[in-house]
Amino acid sequence: MADLLQKLTLEEKIRLLSAENIWETLAIERVGIPSLKVTDGPNGARGGSFFDGTTAACFPACVSLAATFNRSLSYQVGKAIGEEAITKGAYLLLGPTVCCHRSPLGGRNFEAFSEDPYLSGALASEYVKGLQRENRVAAAVKHFLANEQDTRRFSVNEKISDRALREIYLKPFEIVAKEADPWSFMSSYPKINGKHVDAQSKFLIDILRNEWNYEGLVMSDWGATSCAESVRYGLDWEMPGPPRQRTLENVQTALKAGEIKESDIDTRVLATLNLLKKVGKFDDRRVTPEEKAIDRLDHRSLIRKAGSEGLVLLKNEGSILPIDTKKTKKIALLGPLAKYAAAHGGGSASLNCHYKVTPYDAVAERLGNDVEITHSKGAHIFRVYPDVEAGCSNSRGNPGFLAEYFMDLEPSTSPFRSEEFPRGSFTTLMNTHVTGCKTVRFSTIYRPPVSGNHYISFSGLGPSKLFINDTLVAEQREPIKDAMGFFLGVQDEVRIQYDFDSSKEYSIVAETHPSPYSNAELYLMENQCSIHLGLIEQAEMEQDVLSEAVDLAGKADIAIVFVGNTTQWETEGQDLSSMTLPADGSQDKLVASVVAANPNTIVVNTTGVPVELPWLESVPALIQAWYAGQETGNAILDVLLGEVCPSGKLPISWPKKYEHTGCYGNFGLDSFESRSVEYVEGVFVGYRWFDKMWGGEKEVRFPFGYGLSYTQFELSSAKLAGSISEDANAGVNVTLKLKNIGTVAGAETVQVYVEPPVVRGTDRPVKTLVGFAKVELQPGEEQEVDVEFKRDGAAFWDEKQSRWKISKGIHAVLVATSSDPKDVKARLEIAVEGDFLFSP
């Protein structure tokens, strides 16, 4: 690659410092340098369209994958998503996301693995290995670094101690960098201690490359390039293109001023060339193929298996689960998510699934011939009204809407481009065909399926008007307050009612202009056009669905209530405002009312975060379903029926209330008015915080690593060998015997924690996860289990020495099935004769 680098002119090298467009890097045909297409991940390969693109397989979200505690499964998912990426013509996947869950209100927590850096790093490493080694598709491990909150993520300054950075936030990236050799990293938006990641040498140069010996490429998050000087500080690509910071003029100015050297540019370009070679773009993959929708049976099976294995059984009083279908003749499927397939969260992780199986679909298909099934949604949880779709056809006679793009402020001339959309929303963001448009006309002919004074919602990114039969019925005079919120479907809207007659047709036209500035604090949102038009029929909105659900529950043998979040509530771009289920207490009221009517009530919660459970004591069974991918309905039913024995474990701590967490008052929307947030809890994140709260009011609801089964296990004969020493290759090996003493096949996850000695003047967590092993056993089967860890697991970061430190004294090695002290099955000890330090 060095020879190819020498053939490039300085101008060509500068052009290679940034992408050509939203998803593709620049090609230099003169010397045979091809373009590379990237695609969003990490729970699927979406392709080039943010909305309504080529269909793709949707895998479980990373938090769901983390709940499996299954390294092999994570590898298989990574491998399959690599195969998916190739069908979209992409050879770099933007994922996995390995930022730790700092708060239960993180809007994007579902997209990352866990609160624990070791679990995150271990599973992400397997994901990356599967993605890269089988398919030659590069991973872009993200977001490096400290992208734990979405509130003001483009401008927030995060104050984080070096110790917290090393022990919590850098650790999963370090594990992945050293164990999986990812071919690329993605940098993050926030400032850390006053400077963006790419505006200082500490992270991309000193730590990532010099300490960890990372040799791959680093790209920016979209719009997260600080300045031309980032070339010096280790950022290889500015994404997306065309460049905003790394223009030819800006880079040449930086060169003349001595802020960067041409050798810096050469280093950045060489990283690009090396990546292109690794993914095969110089040989058999020079041309980017057309996107294809390939629905593979093996991917379907894997998604279903991973989804069911990630489900966590949190309560099963009286062994109400699994459902005995021989005794059950009538089931009420209730709740707003019963007919909603919660395959994924909102934002970059969303995609156009090949298909989605709702819980209702799964139950009806498998049990419909033998069991009477009733249904009611029981609660309305609209954050925005759903896109109008039914009854719409555009002027070309096709279903949906027509968007016409004009270069003038008044749409009097012919549009320079027209595009069709299946429903009442569109955006120009990431649409390279309509750059520079001044007006968009978005229209349909609406034939109401039913008559009624229907509810309409309307909003635009910029100033917008809505006409029905040429009459202005709604107007938004100013740009939307939150541009990113609008883009992700969580915006404020103008709401009206309109009296429709099903025997008539109506011309609906929306006109919008670009927003001249970005209220998202992200330049990518500037001069973009978007419209959202939602509609709910009067009968649906005004129906007393709660009473209906309670009535059906009372007449059923079993009631199953499906509650949780949708992509409108849990999404990239906005953190959650509380731990309560949306909206306005309606779902909590539904559960409480249903269980009062039928004590045989099972609750299935679908969120990527823990939520308050005010009804928990009265409900006999609770399952946490996460976002389980396109097979979510089948995955849930597999566990409900006992076709899959639940084996998921919580990869997070589940607080009773947000106020009980260590970051309370110093996260996300708590600090919205400030552009600064302090990581006040330091290293005490998740179970490290709650370990200090046992026996008190703030004791955790469900501990990290917790999960029930339909069978029972016995752990015995635990012993250890080895040592914690200055020898980097030395390790501690924990062995034990695990036996399934129940009546059905199942799997147990053995967790190993290290409890350090108490040292005056050093405040350390009670214990730290250092290893785990998941074992599947038949009834009566016994197996020996080995778990190994090295000195890293027992170390803490000494800020005075800027090195890792092991303390003298007795280190307890805890063998457990969760982080709850009551679930410790064996306590072993190992002595360290003296303090010692070691370098990263």
Residue from 604, 787, 655, 726 nearest 103 by CA: 655
CA distances from 434 to 405, 407, 429, 479, 614 (A): 7, 9, 9, 20, 49
Supply the DSSP symbol for 757.
P
Q: Any catalytic annotation for residue 221?
A: yes
CA distances from 10 to 13, 29, 69 (A): 5, 16, 49
Element at 362 (helix H, strand E): helix 359-367
- Tell me how far the alpha carbon of residue 144 is from its chain's centroid: 15
CA distance 486 to 499: 27
Element at 62 (helix H, strand E): helix 62-67
Burial of residue 211, with CB atoms counted within 10 A of its CB: 0-12 exposed, 13-18 middle, 19 or more buried: middle
Length of the chain: 840
Element at 825 (helix H, strand E): strand 824-832
CA distance 329 to 556: 8
Tell me the Cα Rg of the chain.
27
Supply the DSSP symbol for 672.
T
Residues 6+ apart with CB under 8 A from 814: 752, 753, 754, 755, 767, 824, 826, 827, 828
Supply the DSSP symbol for 61.
P
Given 150, 198, 221, 638, the catalytic residue? 221
Phi and psi at 601, nearest 5°, equal -110, 130
Q: Tell me the one-letter amino acid at 279.
A: V
Three-state secondary structure call for residue 439: strand
* DSSP per-residue string spanning 553-594: HHTSSEEEEEEE--TTTSBTTB--S-SSPTTTTHHHHHHHHH
In sign, the C-alpha dihedral spanning 604, 746, 301, 324 is negative
Specify whether the CB–CB gap between 451 and 502 falls below 8 A: yes
Which active-site residues does the annotation give? 221
